[in-house]
């Protein structure tokens, strides 16, 4: 059963890569791959976790324009940090090069309070929700 899920995962990634390379909803023509992302909601925030193994902070950019959040970056190929020259690959399942992901943000995001951190190959973006002002009672004169 594990092999079947592995095949399904590879087919899904293939379609994702094709969509990204054709300028589909996940990427643009200048991207080589799309990082996997989990998004979940807490009472006070949305959390975006993106898998970026081998990517350093200075290789990632997060931009917000209007209601769109874009994560772009570059994952270096192993040949750029290998101690010797690689003569050939025997298996290469990981993707390298530029990446991009775009996300629509809900209206209730506090854009000024957004924070991000990259640790152990996981980019976590915290999108806090606006806290509505407390209710107020109007006195009738």
Give the pLDDT score at 27: 44
User: Is the pTM higher than 0.75?
Assistant: no
Q: What is the pLDDT of residues 51-102, one digit of tens each?
A: 999 999 999 999 999 999 999 999 988 765 556 777 777 888 888 899 999 9
Q: CA 118, CA 120: separation in Å to the nearest integer?
A: 7
What is the average pLDDT score of the chain? 82
Under CATH, which architecture does the 32-77+94-128 domain have? Sandwich (2.60)
Q: Which of 69, 71, 65 is nearest to 104 (CA)?
A: 69
Give the pLDDT score at 3: 65
Which 3 state secondary structure label does DSSP give 113?
A: helix
Contact call for residues 20 and 37 (beta carbons, < 8 A)? no
């Amino acid at each position: 059963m594990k092999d079947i899920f592995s095949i399904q995962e590879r087919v899904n990634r293939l379609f994702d890569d094709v969509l990204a390379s054709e300028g589909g909803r996940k990427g643009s023509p200048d991207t080589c791959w799309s990082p996997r992302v989990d998004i979940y909601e807490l009472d006070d925030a949305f959390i975006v976790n993106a898998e970026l193994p081998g990517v350093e902070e200075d290789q990632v950019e997060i931009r917000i324009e209007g209601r769109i959040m874009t994560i772009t970056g570059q994952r270096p190929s192993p040949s750029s940090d290998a101690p010797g020259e690689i003569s050939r690959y025997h298996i290469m399942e990981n993707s390298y090069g530029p990446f991009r992901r775009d996300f629509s943000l809900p209206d209730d995001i506090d854009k000024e309070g957004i924070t991000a951190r990259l640790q152990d190959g996981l980019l976590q973006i915290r999108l806090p929700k606006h806290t509505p002002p407390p209710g107020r009672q109007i006195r009738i004169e």
